[in-house]
Amino acid sequence: MKPQKSTLLTGLLLASTALIATAGTAMAERTLRATVQVATNHPIGANVVTFKDALEEISGGEMNVEIYDSAQLYKGSQVPKAVASGAIDMGVVLADEYSGTIPAAGIFSVPFLFPTYEVLAKAADPEGEFRQTFDAMIGETGTKVLWWQDYGPVQLLSKDEPLTEPSQMNGLLVRAMGKPSGDFIDAVGGTPVVIGGSEQFMAYQRGTVDVGMSGTTAVQSRSLYEVMDNVTMTNHSLAEFIVVINNDLFEGLSDQEKEWVTEAAMTAEQDLRKKTEGNNVASQEWLADGNATVTELTPEQLTAWQEAAAPAVDVFIQDGGETAQNLVDAVQALH
């Protein structure tokens, strides 16, 4: 009997050890749920896949990412609250979506502040004043910025004729992406109507607005050229997306997990930044190749737009206070 008892005890101990090991492994694995309002074959969605692949590789599978794309869980405007509340772990959101509660968050839509890709790259420096001020501001909402997603410059879309002069905007209804882009529209004589990215096609098709506003690549990927046949290359603002994670969740990660997430985030950010300019140039060329009328502004025409839009910068600073002023000063110092 004694040998049988010994064997039984040994078996129980081995089984317990196996259960503990299994439980430890299960506890070590962490899955982050991410909401994305576009498909994973879209540059922004594909960039989240880049993050997922990088995180799973560097963590050796201890951290995983589940992507809920095409706005199946939340629309872009719902992402800040959903992430801050913990309803979803992390998500992609247009920076402008924060401007309703934090006016200074609309900095990327302030007209003509980011004239080149080089200026944006400098602003995105994690050690720079602009980046640190912006990310800290978003951090006050209960969400932490993991990385920026450069999507490129924003253009004006119209039917029948290109918009080459600000005076052509007088009395027209114009799609706005948020308050700062709305201030730009006000400054040049139009009336802003806030319309989400995924709602653009139907709005243009139905004539909800007279003038569209969208990133160059989106005009192609969302087939906006089918309902707006003129693209004026104003490059007046940026469609800058950010990927945010719930603050409490991030702070609850181990130091090792934080390191993995941060490394994967920077990998994704740098990967997209390298591709963005090429993607936008390719879309512009594709549109010009018989798919839309693409109009480049002359230096004189561009100056006229910049002068007409100048009051929008003042409104932004007035609305956003000291933080807005600091962001404008920081980015202008990079020109």
Vertex 313 angle, CA 184 and 136, to 5°: 110
Burial of 89 (0-12, 13-18, 19+ CB in 10 A): buried
Q: Residues 8-59: pLDDT tens digits?
A: 444 444 444 444 333 443 345 899 999 999 889 889 999 999 999 999 999 9
Q: Residues 253-264: pLDDT tens digits?
A: 999 999 999 999
pLDDT band at 7 (very low <50, low <70, confident <90, very high): very low
pLDDT at 197: 85
Q: Residues 291-310: pLDDT tens digits?
A: 999 999 999 999 999 999 99
Q: To the nearest whole percent, how much of the chain has pLDDT over 90?
A: 84
Amino acid identity at 279? N
Vertex 84 angle, CA 77 and 148, to 5°: 65
3-state secondary structure of 192: strand
Q: Locate the domains of the chain by residue range.
A: 30-332
Give the residue, 177 or 57, on which the prediction is more confident: 57
DSSP state of 61: T
- What mean pLDDT value characterizes the chain? 92
For residues 14 and 39, what is the distance between their CA atoms, to the nearest angstrom?
A: 47
pLDDT at 28: 52
For residues 240 and 294, what is the distance between their CA atoms, to the nearest angstrom?
A: 22
For residues 117 and 98, what is the distance between their CA atoms, to the nearest angstrom?
A: 23
Whether the CB-CB separation of 166 and 236 falls below 8 Å is answered with no
For residues 131 and 135, what is the distance between their CA atoms, to the nearest angstrom?
A: 6
3-state secondary structure of 316: helix
pLDDT at 3: 46
- Report the 10 Å Cβ neighbour count for 224: 22
- First-residue to last-residue Cα distance in the chain: 86
* Residue 4 pLDDT > 80: no
pLDDT at 14: 43
Overall fold of domain 30-332? D-Maltodextrin-Binding Protein; domain 2 (3.40.190)
Range with lowest mean pLDDT among 8-17, 103-112, 147-156, 307-316: 8-17
Q: To the nearest whole percent, how much of the chain has pLDDT over 70?
A: 92
Sign of CA dihedral 224, 281, 300, 109: positive
Whether the CB-CB separation of 225 and 287 falls below 8 Å is answered with yes
